Every structure is written in C-alpha cells, then in structure tokens.
Amino acid sequence: MPSWKVTLPCTRAEAEAIDAAEDLGLDSAPVLMTTEDVEDDAERWHLDAYFEVEPNDAAVAAVQALVPSARGRAPAIEQLDDEDWVTMSQAGLEPLHVGRFYVHTAAQDAPPPEGARVFRIEAGRAFGTGHHETTSGCLAMLDGLADARFTDVIDIGTGTGLLAFAARELWPEARVLATDIDPVAVDVTRENAEVNAVPGIDLVVADGALADAITDRAPYDLLIANILAGPLVSMAPEVAAIAAPHATVVLAGLLGRQASEVIGAYTACGCTLEARDDRGDWTILRLRAGAERYVPTAPIDPAGRDGWALDI
C-alpha cells in the first residue's frame, strides 16, 4: 500500500525533543524521523512524519505542534509509492569501516578492506545499521576491548543484531544473548545472523532485563545497551543486578547533555565510569560494575519504570 509523508522544517532542539515525543493520540500514528539539513547548524533540520494512510487535518496539526519554529509554514504533504520508505530513506548509506568491522548493504559491492569482518545489514525494519553515531560508537568501543576476555555477553535492545554479531566475532567462545522489546527486531536479528553466517546468538523478546530467560543466565561480564537515555536510567537497577562483579557495561543512545544523569543512575548501582566517547551530539559510555554483585534495595517493578525515567 502507498504511504504518505508530511515534512516541516525544525530546529535541532525540536528534533531532540521529538525523539522523546509521547504518543500523538492519533488513530494512525506516524513514524517520525528528523534529519540535519546543514551540518552543525542548529536551526537547519527537518521533520518527516510517515503515515500508512492519508493524514487528515488533525494528524497534520499534531505534527505541526511538534515544531513551533515552523508555525505559519505550510507542510509539504506527498503520497509515496508502494515501497518500503525506511529502506528508501537509508538507500544512500555508504559502507562503514569501524576498527576491524566493515558494514554494508547488498547494493554496495565495493571490495571490503583486507582482513575486515564484513557484515551485510540491510536498512529496513530495525534500528542499527551501524551508521548512527550510537551504533558506530559502540562498535568502536567493543573493538577497543578486543584484548579483554568475556564469557557471557548480553546485548539489550539489539535492533539489527549488529553489536551482538561484533561481540560474537571478538569473543567466539562466549555465550551471547541478544534481546529486544520488539519481536520484529528479534526476527530481523535472526535473519541477519543467517545472512552473515553468525553462529550461536541466542535471542529473546523481552522488556528490559527482568525476563526469566535473561536472569537465569546471569551474571554477564559484558553488557551492551544501545537504547535511549530514559530507559537506560530507569533500567539501571535491573541491568546492574545481572552484571557480574567487575563486569564491563557499554551504554549508548544518550545525548551528551544526558550523560551525567545516566552515569549517576549507574553509579548509584555500584558502577564507575571508565571511558566516554562523544560523537557529535551523542555519547557512548563504558562503565565497570562494582567488586560485589549489585543487589537492588527494593523489588524491581517494570510498571514503575516511568517513575525513574529521565526527563528528556
């Protein structure tokens, strides 16, 4: 079926707020994407809202309300052909070379760097092609840990599975568990593992880190969570609770201005900051779990996570 796109200019501040926008209350909720038009120009961004059906006046007004700077500007509204717009939006991505890893799509047939571990990750139904600063930063962080030894790895919010695949490549003897709240992402990871001949990745659909399939395998000595700042903060006690003493914890999906609150949440659970990688507006953190396994001071109720959430 064809889809529809509503486009409006916005600022970087509005784009960052949109990343954390609440449900717009529409029967047909759009997928929202923001893009920087001019590098390092905080005033030159735009918002694309993709609808599965033609947006009515209320839907357009809801999108317009997200970008006050565009007040008075008529949105561009267009009908798209019967194609996967997510794939279309990322079709121009160039191959990515990070450390020993080389990530490309099927449309990119240039020869990879000699000796690189090649992953084919198609743009499409799940986040994590490697091109966003958070994913490429995590790849670089993991590559820098290659000389370490890990035996139990978990990738929380795996998306396309790319970071779990990198961990499997770096530590072939480790058990690797990839989880995501979205069943589609888990399906995509399974498909990508087959395409890239990545063995031994266990998959779980789970909200957070409290599922039996996760806790039964704890503790983990490498924990990766590339999600968003709010969930990182709210999940800190449950993530820390499944970490082995002195475990390495890699966190991403947070903006630089959110780093102190994320660090604070994990420090309260016994972790200490070891490294920080700032890439544009985004930050990747590496922390070390405490010398003793963390025990939450109160039972963790997933329904109560909203009360811990970071205001972003």
Domain ranges of the chain: 3-82, 96-308
Q: How far apart are CA 54 and CA 50, in angstroms?
A: 10
* H or E, element range at 272: strand 272-279
Amino acid at 142: L
Rounded (to 5) percent helix, strand, coil in the chain: 30, 30, 40
CATH assignment of 3-82, among 2.60.40, 3.30.70, 3.40.50, 3.90.580: 3.30.70
Q: Given this chain, do its domains 3-82 and 96-308 carry the same CATH topology?
A: no
Residues annotated within a binding site: 135, 157, 180, 226
Q: How far apart are CA 76 and CA 97, in angstroms?
A: 36
Residues annotated within a binding site for S-adenosyl-L-methionine: 135, 157, 180, 226
- pLDDT tens, position by position, 47-75: 888 887 889 999 999 999 999 999 989 99
- One-letter-per-residue 3-state SS of 127-167: CCCCCCHHHHHHHHHHHCCCCCCCCEEEEECCCCCHHHHHH
Residue indicated by tokens 């958070």: 134
pLDDT in single tens digits along all 312 residues of the chain: 568 889 999 998 888 777 544 457 777 677 777 787 876 677 889 988 888 788 999 999 999 999 999 998 999 999 876 555 555 544 545 678 888 998 887 776 678 888 889 888 876 544 444 445 778 899 999 999 999 999 999 999 998 899 999 999 999 999 999 999 888 889 989 999 999 999 999 999 998 899 999 999 999 999 999 988 888 999 999 999 999 999 999 999 888 888 999 999 999 999 999 999 998 778 999 999 999 999 988 777 776 554 343 333
Q: How far apart are CA 287 and CA 27, in angstroms?
A: 41
pTM above 0.95, yes or no: no
Return the CATH number of the domain spanning residue range 96-308. 3.40.50.150
Length of the chain: 312
CB contact set of 244 (below 8 Å; sequence gap of 6+): 152, 218, 219, 220, 221, 289, 293
